Amino acid sequence: AGASIVEIGHAERRRLFGETDADVAKKAAAVARNGMTPVVCIGEKNKSNIASQAVGIAVSECKPQIKAALSQLPDDADVILAYEPVWAIGASEPAGADHVVAVTQNLRALVAETGRKGRTRILYGGSAGPGTFQKLKDGVDGLFLGRFAHDVGNLEKVIEEMKDS
């Protein structure tokens, strides 16, 4: 079919089909073994209303998801982490920019500690759309678009915003 990137571990699959971190890790290994790049969906379930705790909670929930997936990937395999707080999926607004940038910078440092040779990119999803990337570009490499990409006009706006960065 010509696919080169495969999305795995989305929150809805985890919820509806009971997929675990171990299941997602096995899928990531299969994707890499077959010459494609896994897009591993990660994210915290609960939103903390205490700003000083929110980043720590998010990182602590995402850490085992990342570690499981990386443990099954060859050291030189590319991987894309799609950070999408579960509480932000389908919300009217994305998670706050300060929160997303702080979380993704921490996740990037976590991956760097592993010493992997493969490239790791981080995307943000969770009500991402036009205007989101500019606010998050210090923490993410791109966006993981959902319903906003169903409208070609919105998709064009996002592409233009990213092209200009």
Count Cβ neighbours within 10 Å for each residue of 130-163 and write b for 16 or more, e otherwise: bebbebbbebbbbbbbbebeeeeeeeeebeebee
Cβ neighbours of residue 58 closer than 8 Å, sequence gap 6 or more: 43, 44, 48, 85, 99, 103
Residue 65 vs residues 22, 91, 148, 155: alpha-carbon distances, Å: 9, 23, 26, 29
From the candidates 7, 10, 12, 61, which is the catalytic residue? 10
Cβ neighbours of residue 5 closer than 8 Å, sequence gap 6 or more: 36, 37, 38, 39, 80
- Max alpha carbon distance in the chain (Å)? 46
**Catalytic annotation present for 10:** yes
| Amino acid making up residue 41 | C
**Catalytic annotation present for 84:** yes
Active site residues: 10, 84
